[in-house]
Amino acid sequence: MSASSPNNGLCAICSDKATGKHYGASSCDGCKGFFRRSVRKNHVYQCRFVRSCHVDKDKRNQCRYCRLKKCFRAGMKKEAVQNERDRISVRRTPYDDQQRNSALSVATLYNADAATKSMLTQITTSDITRKALANVGDICESMKQQVMKMIDWAKLIPPFNEMDTDDKVSLLRSHACEHLLLSLARRSCMYNETLLLSNDTVITRTSLDNEQNKITCRIMDELIQPMRDIQMDESEFACLLAIILFDPSSRNLTISHRIRSLRWQVQVNLEDYINDRQYDSRGRFGEMLLLLQNLQTIAFQVIEQINAYRLYAGLKLDTLLLEMILQGSHFFIICVFSS
Ligand SMILES: [Zn+2]
Ligand SMILES: [Zn+2]
């Protein structure tokens, strides 16, 4: 049997179900994508063993060196990938004009996040138990700090920075609360049953009022736990923040088509990043996107809670928070941008 024979219907590399002949060999979409990324990015892999690892459907992500070798053995050709790229650039998909890859690469997003990440000194788990419990004032203060950081962060993303102020404001306001919550969850990932705010105060499952405790528990159970389960890394986290930011349905947006293609680009880069992981990554991308749904409903609950506090407990909210989180006027945010 020739390795690239398409008639057995199996991938010549990993024996998964083949979806056709790709780059010269009958293969599955996983191996097709792996080969394409490897060639396009000129990856050089190492084998940790003796260059004869077994490549099958379950183990195909374990050794990239041996998988790529098997792709070549099965008949895949580098040139076919390069030709495909030339053809696409002539045909132009709706997204092609946005294919300035590096502007939204995983590395760019990672750097933007790392540069503005809370510069809290590394705290050991024993220290966290001695931190002050946050009251409502601390929560508002910490949210304000995070909003300022979020603005600084977004400015480090080149395509965002090139937009008109109105579009920037529209994007940031649409999901500011989600951005804050996801950052809080990430910051708290290493602590047990404790949320660490950016102003160095903490929240436990029962340290606040009833309704707020429900929110705390949701953050722990529906955000932090799944993030821990998949061991989300910093690059993946940075991409998720960008996917949240580039929402084409944000209110008052004048460039929604462009935002859609920016988001698409981040998604594709994240997908590639995940697929290039050393170990099996199937399902991982989906898990991450599912987090966004929890995030959205929790954010909604937080906003309701803040509104209730303003109405019934006379909570005075900082202008910036009012405009960013509760969608008041946006005079103040414009001032922040032009300063
Ligand atoms: Zn395969
Ligand atoms: Zn190997």
Ligand nearest to the CA of 282: 1
Instruction: Note whether 53 and 70 are within 8 A (CB).
Output: no
* Domain CATH for 42: 3.30.50.10
**Summary count for the chain: helices (H), strands (E):** 16, 4
Give the whole-angstrom CA distance, residue 178 versus residue 175: 5
Compute, in degrees rounded to 10, the torsion defined by CA atoms 131, 135, 140, 142: 0
Q: Is the pLDDT of residue 40 over 80?
A: yes
- pLDDT of 91 > 70? The answer is no
* 180 CA to centre of own chain: 14
Same domain, 198 and 264: yes
User: Can you give the CATH number for the domain in which 176 is found?
Assistant: 1.10.565.10
Asked if residue 291 lies in contact with residue 240, where contact means CB atoms within 8 angstroms, the answer is yes
User: Which residues are near ligand 1, the ion (C-beta closer than 5 Å)?
Assistant: 11, 13-14, 16, 28, 31
Q: How confident is the model at residue 97 (pLDDT cuts 50, 70, 90)?
A: very low
What distance in angstroms lies between residue 304's CA and the mean position of ligand 1's atoms? 48
Among 49, 65, 91, identify where a domain stops. Answer: 91
Residues 127 and 182 in one domain: yes
Q: Which amino acid is at 193?
A: E
Name the pLDDT band for 338 (thresholds 50, 70, 90): low
Give the chain's mean pLDDT: 85
The verdict on 273 and 153 lying in the same domain is yes
The ligand minimizing its distance to the Cα of 65 is: 2
CA–CA separation, 292 vs 258, rounded Å? 21
185-210 burial, b if ≥16 CB within 10 A, otherwise e? Answer: bbbbbebeebbbbbbbbbbbeebbee
Decide: 75 and 3 in contact? Cβ < 8 Å: yes
**pLDDT score for 217:** 96
The rounded Å distance from CA 49 to ligand 2 centre is 6
Percent pLDDT > 90 in the chain is 54
Pick from 72-86, 216-230, 313-327 the range whose average pLDDT is largest: 216-230
CA 50 to ligand 2 center in whole angstroms: 6
**Residue that terminates a domain, selected from 42, 66, 91:** 91
Q: Which of 91, 109, 144 finishes a domain? A: 91
Distance in Å, CA 119 to ligand 1 centroid: 43
Domain with 289 in it = 96-338
Q: Is the pLDDT of residue 86 over 90?
A: no
Does residue 1 fall inside a structural domain?
A: no
- How many other β-carbons are positioned within 10 Å of the β-carbon of residue 138? 18
CA distance 81 to 37: 9
Pairing of the two strands 202-204 and 20-22: unpaired
3-state secondary structure (DSSP) of residue 85: helix
Ligand nearest to the Cα of 64, by number: 2
pLDDT at 101 over 70: no
Residue 324 identity = M
pLDDT for 144-192, tens place per residue?
999 999 999 999 999 999 999 999 999 999 999 999 999 999 999 989 8
Report DSSP state, residue 10: B
Within this chain, do residues 23 and 171 fall inside the same structural domain, yes or no?
A: no
Per-residue pLDDT reduced to its tens digit, 252-298: 898 999 999 999 999 999 988 888 766 667 789 999 999 999 999 99
